[in-house]
Structure 1
């Protein structure tokens, strides 16, 4: 018996806003929505696909009433594929992200940021040719 990693769920206040932000960051699309929930991904999962092979997980944004109370213990890392790291950081700032200081120090190869609801994520080195 085995399981597959199929979704990563993010608790938030505004699932539509956060889904729109992450769709713009990752070039994902909305694949499902219901009241208080939006799911995005790079593909539309089917049971057959998931059972056949490991596929990239989707992201689900679920509305919750409480706010975040501490530093995230889990975060996303993203790598630019067609621009330099600083160019990508500037693009993400324009989408509503913010730079963050979580004690990482000044001379790092990554940039810590937060999404519009304050969830940390990192922009890693560029993978652009």
Structure 2
């Protein structure tokens, strides 16, 4: 049996704010601020997270240092109910910044950064196979 991906971890100064922000971006990951587990999903928490489909998680871990270099790994998002360009505009409206615009008509992607500078891409819209 091979390994299965369980979670992605992001270093963060404000784990609560990052989890709440990403919860607005991803509708299939749930942010639960009422979770009472110690150190979890409250302001000042050492960890916060989002629960996703199939018991997968996005975890935000408190670190003291600032982000200094480009991410070595980053998530790529594929919109399901709007165009790539509409999704880029929506996420920019939530507080992301545009890092690199590699869109070329119906091809390419946009590289954005979350409020703490973690890069991610927005790809073209998901098209289920026929």
Report if TM-score (shorter chain) is over 0.5.
yes
Alignment correspondent of 1:29: 30
Separation in 1 of the partners of 2:90 and 2:125?
14
Contact 2:112 2:122 in 1 (8 A): yes
Aligned 8 A contact 2:102 2:109 in 1: no
Q: What's the C-alpha RMSD, in Å, of the aligned pairs?
A: 2.3
Deviation at 1:17, TM superposition (A): 1.0
TM-score normalised over the length of structure 1: 0.79
Query: Larger RCO: Structure 1 or Structure 2 (Cα < 8 Å, ≥ 6 residues apart)?
Result: 1
Among 48, 59, 72, the alignment partner of 1:38 is 48
Q: How far apart are 1:8 and its partner, in Å? A: 1.1
C-alpha separation in 1, matches of 2:109 and 2:124? 6
Contact 1:13 1:65 in 2 (8 A): yes
Q: Which runs of 5+ in 1 are unaligned?
A: 44-54
Aligned residue in 2 for 1:51: none
* Structure-2-length-normalised TM-score: 0.78
Partner of 2:11: 11
Asked whether the equivalents of residues 12 and 61 of structure 2 are also in contact (C-alpha less than 8 Å), the reply is yes
- The aligned length equals 116
Distance 1:72 1:20, change over 3 A: same
Aligned partner of residue 91 in structure 2, secondary structure: helix
Unaligned runs of 5+ in 2: none
Runs of 4+ in 1 over 4 A off after TM superposition: none
